[in-house]
A and B are shown apart, each in its own frame.
Chain A
Amino acid sequence: AAGVIQSPRHLIKEKRETATLKCYPIPRHDTVYWYQQGPGQDPQFLISFYEKMQSDKGSIPDRFSAQQFSDYHSELNMSSLELGDSALYFCASSLFRGDRIAWPYEQYFGPGTRLTVT
């Protein structure tokens, strides 16, 4: 079965540079989520999109922005990178259909992008 695809898998950037992470959800899934996992920590929610509209927002820095495109893929843009941004970034997708009561919407995670800021 098709899974969530993330690219690139590894990324090395210097401080103050920008980075763009891409996520391709499982086909027919309509919701995309982004999570950040620092070393030794649990994943923390950043932002989510349902049908190309932002649906929820966590502790995402103002330096970060994201969007979901017409083909449902999503991109996380990170500017003015800091050493503390070094982390594993996960994208997840689910099929929500706008009816959370009637439909189980298990989230499936991609393999992650490991970002290192030097």
Chain B
Amino acid sequence: GIQVEQSPPDLILQEGANSTLRCNFSDSVNNLQWFHQNPWGQLINLFYIPSGTKQNGRLSATTVATERYSLLYISSSQTTDSGVYFCAVERSVKGAQKLVFGQGTRLTINP
């Protein structure tokens, strides 16, 4: 099956810093999503981005499908950005099928 690798596994920053999280995947995909899992366990949709670039406030994401990677940028980090960031991909030959998650990047923002 498809492999998803995220880097770095852990990232500790001071408030106000910028960060780049990377997601590599081993095959072409139909769907790529970025999630933020907050300390309460909730998975929050950040981006649906199988290709191209999107921005939402301090967050932006870029997926280069031909090179099989996606990047999540967080600017001017806040303590509320802490949590685990997951990249998840879907590669189906028919039907809407499962998301395969990476191992996540644990981000800690210190005040």
CB pair A112 B42 closer than 8 Å: yes
Q: B95–A55 contact, CB under 8 A?
A: yes
Interface range on chain B (Cβ under 8 Å from partner): 20 to 34
On whether the beta carbons of B45 and A55 are closer than 8 Å, the reply is no
Q: Which of A92, A100, A111 contacts B92 (CB 8 A)?
A: A100
Q: Contact residue range for chain A?
A: 20 to 34
Is there contact, CB below 8 Å, between A105 and B45?
no
Complex Cα distance A92/B101, Å?
Answer: 14
Within 8 A of A (CB), among B26-83: 30-31, 33, 35, 41-43, 45, 48, 50
Whether A58 and B104, one on each chain, are in contact in the complex, defined by CB atoms closer than 8 angstroms, is: no
- Contact segment of A14-22, A43-51, A63-71, A72-80: A43-51
Distance of A43 from chain B, by nearest CB (Å): 5
Q: Which residues of A contact B48 (CB under 8 A)?
A: 104, 106
Q: Residue B100 at the A interface, CB < 8 A?
A: yes
Once A100-B30, A107-B33 are accepted as A-B contacts, the answer to whether A48 and B96 lie under 8 Å apart by CB is yes
B103: CB under 8 A from chain A? Answer: yes
Known interface pairs A43-B101, A105-B31; A96-B96 also in contact (CB < 8 Å): yes
The reply to whether B42 and A107 form a contact with Cβ atoms under 8 Å apart is no
Interface residues of B (CB under 8 A from A): 30-31, 33, 35, 41-43, 45, 48, 50, 86, 88, 92, 94-104
14 A-B pairs besides A58-B98, A90-B43, A104-B50 with CB distance below 8 A are: A42-B101, A48-B98, A56-B95, A88-B41, A96-B96, A100-B94, A104-B31, A105-B31, A106-B33, A106-B45, A109-B35, A109-B45, A112-B41, A112-B43
